[in-house]
Amino acid sequence: MLVAKNLTKTYAVDHRTITVLDSVSLSVATGEFIVIAGSSGSGKTTLLTLLSGLDRPTGGEIWIDGREISTAGEDDLAPMRNRTIGFVFQSFHLVPAMTALENIMFPAELMKLHDAEARAHKLLDTVGLSARADNLPSQLSGGEKQRVALCRAMINRPKLLFADEPTGNLDSRNGQIVLDQLLSLKEAHTVTLVLVTHNPEIAAAADRVYTLSDGRLDHQADASETAA
């Protein structure tokens, strides 16, 4: 489902070249759950933005579902991201003036799906928020906002879901609720999940864990190693 080959990302700062990612390669099978771990500043979020097509690498290749995207133009990338990829961010990114239901429906409406509202109601029911459909984000708790964001990410039934510290702004109880529902939706829809976290408990639930250090991939572990 996802292959990265020798990804490099550099920036020019004051006549110097800063290397954020250095020859990173990885592969993710269809339906697999992988975690990208590492300390702050290791390059985790940069790697996620490259893998998802939100940013371009300086060098290397990215393949999603058999298609090379690292050189694709924005006109090709935008519909692919909306159709094939879902995103869950640490900071929710809900539209303040839209209700929970409207936030979830928005990507489906961009795709002109006739059943957008029915899909959104079903997802809200799945995560236990049917009673919150007409609430604005300001009327929701942090955990509820992230569950709405999760529903929004799933509305177009993506093949590949990227999550950047999805429980980072939540307390342990709400974080566990969001994680459980994320994994439940992943299984129900056979979604491939790539998740960035520094939380070892979340990493222990993954099929494999890639660890970044100073922009290099320095370790890969399967679930048994992580649990140990």
Domains for the chain: give ranges and CATH numbers.
2-227 (3.40.50.300)
Q: For the residues of 132-152, what is the DSSP string, one character each?
A: GTT--GGGS-HHHHHHHHHHH
pLDDT tens for each residue of the chain, 228 residues long: 999 999 999 999 888 999 999 999 999 999 999 999 988 878 898 999 999 988 899 999 999 988 898 888 888 888 788 889 999 988 889 999 999 999 999 999 988 999 999 999 999 999 999 999 999 999 999 999 999 999 999 999 999 999 999 988 888 888 899 899 999 989 988 999 999 998 888 889 999 999 998 889 876 767 555 554
Residues with Cβ within 8 Å of residue 79, at least 6 apart in sequence: none
Q: Which two tokens stand for residue 25?
A: 């390669």
Note whether 204 and 227 are within 8 A (CB). yes
